[in-house]
């Protein structure tokens, strides 16, 4: 069945350019599948309208407004089905501190952390580098800094505070960085992330060739299953549905710890969730189709034929 689909892309956040790329890739895939596709760019949070005849919204937004539950809440008020997590889960997952609290309550391991709000704050008592400093409510590694020396503290704190009034300070886990994609209540193959230099910050994430991605990640079966299970538990802890991506570190002893949950992961053909889906034979178009089907199933089976 083909539908009248509105792809929401762009938006007002610091991740606007990434969202535009996701939205364009999704739109091309949906057009090739035979859907009627229109676009809405909510660059201003107020004033946008869905096109007449819209049956379902494909959310390709990232960051503030797109992932924090705001647009989801408005779409729910309009009674229009949309892809991905609901407003409540989106709001929880976008807040890194609330995510960690939910994980801890569910027995899901996550790095030791504390929260700061002052640009004048010193390194917290009882803490020593290496540390990770990042805004509580941002995505895509925006404002994330690695503090490897006490001398780097002030700059790292200031950078994070440019993007939010509250900053999360975490112990920096030494180990292997991975991500687990989730689709329809199943964990996809683990992707290992290997920056060629430094940590996986915004620059290494979006600079071509700066990072190697291994999928399936080269772990033994028991470790792979443990990583996938922890990722699924974290997604459940925030109330996730349909699809998402959970970022983790794997300690040197093979124990995974959750960094954060992404409710609207990147959707270019080279993004991590599509990479993981491709590893089990789900191409980019099929992945987009599955996301739409999950949304329409919740709406009662499919809407009218476009």
Q: Does the annotation mark 262 as catalytic?
A: yes
Q: Whats the size of the chain, residue-wise?
A: 306
Q: Does the annotation mark 201 as catalytic?
A: no
Q: Which of these is catalytic: 175, 202, 204, 206?
A: 206
Phi then psi for residue 229, to 5 deg, are -65, -40
Nearest in space to 127 (alpha carbons), one of 187, 171, 72, 63: 171
Give dist(CA 305, CA 302) in Å, integer: 8
Cis peptide preceding 130, ω within 30 of 0: yes
CA distances from residue 201 to 18, 276, 290 in whole angstroms, order as listed: 15, 21, 30
Give dist(CA 135, CA 170) in Å, integer: 11
Q: Which of these is catalytic: 22, 27, 90, 262?
A: 262
Q: Does the annotation mark 65 as catalytic?
A: no
Q: Which of these is catalytic: 164, 177, 192, 247?
A: 247
Q: Which of these is catalytic: 10, 11, 13, 15?
A: 15
Nearest in space to 115 (alpha carbons), one of 99, 130, 135, 91: 135
Q: Which of these is catalytic: 66, 139, 143, 266?
A: 266
Q: Does the annotation mark 206 as catalytic?
A: yes
Q: Does the annotation mark 245 as catalytic?
A: yes
Q: Does the annotation mark 15 as catalytic?
A: yes
Q: Does the annotation mark 177 as catalytic?
A: no
The strand ranges marked E within the chain are 4-8, 36-40, 56-59, 113-116, 131-135, 145-147, 167-171, 175-183, 186-195, 211-214, 243-251, 256-262
Q: Does the annotation mark 247 as catalytic?
A: yes
Residues 201 and 154 sit within 8 Å (Cβ to Cβ): no
Give dist(CA 294, CA 181) in Å, integer: 16
Phi then psi for residue 89, to 5 deg, are -65, -40
Residues 131 and 149 sit within 8 Å (Cβ to Cβ): no
Give dist(CA 85, CA 263) in Å, integer: 6
Q: Which of these is catalytic: 21, 244, 245, 271?
A: 245
Q: Which of these is catalytic: 4, 140, 141, 271?
A: 140
Residues 65 and 94 sit within 8 Å (Cβ to Cβ): no
Residues with a catalytic annotation lie at: 15, 140, 206, 245, 247, 260, 262, 266
């Amino acid at each position: 069945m083909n539908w009248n689909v509105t792809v929401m892309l762009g938006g007002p956040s610091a991740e606007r350019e990434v969202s535009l790329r996701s939205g364009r890739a999704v739109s091309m895939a949906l057009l090739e599948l035979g859907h009627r596709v229109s676009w809405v760019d909510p660059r201003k949070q107020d004033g946008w309208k869905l096109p007449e005849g819209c049956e379902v919204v494909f959310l390709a937004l990232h960051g503030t407004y797109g992932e924090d539950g705001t647009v989801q809440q408005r779409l729910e008020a309009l009674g229009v089905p949309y892809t991905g997590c609901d407003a409540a889960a989106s709001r929880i997952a976008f807040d890194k501190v609330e995510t960690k609290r939910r994980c801890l309550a569910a027995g899901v391991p996550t790095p030791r952390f504390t929260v700061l709000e002052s640009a004048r704050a010193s390194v917290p008592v009882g803490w020593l580098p290496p540390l990770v400093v990042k805004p509580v409510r941002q995505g895509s590694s925006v404002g994330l800094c690695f503090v490897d020396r006490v001398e780097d503290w002030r700059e790292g704190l200031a950078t994070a505070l440019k993007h939010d009034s509250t900053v999360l300070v975490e112990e920096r886990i030494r180990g292997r960085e991975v991500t687990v994609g989730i689709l329809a209540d199943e964990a996809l193959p683990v992707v290992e992330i290997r920056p060629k230099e430094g940590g996986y910050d915004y620059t290494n994430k979006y600079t071509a060739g700066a990072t190697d991605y291994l999928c399936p990640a080269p772990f033994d079966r028991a470790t792979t299953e443990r990583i996938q299970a922890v990722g699924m538990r974290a997604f459940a802890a925030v109330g996730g549905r349909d699809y998402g991506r959970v970022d983790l570190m794997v300690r040197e002893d093979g124990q995974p710890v959750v960094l954060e949950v992404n409710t609207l992961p990147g959707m270019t053909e080279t993004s991590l969730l599509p990479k993981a889906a491709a590893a089990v034979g789900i191409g980019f178009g099929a992945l987009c189709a599955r996301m739409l089907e999950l949304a329409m199933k919740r709406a009662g089976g499919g809407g009218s034929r476009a």
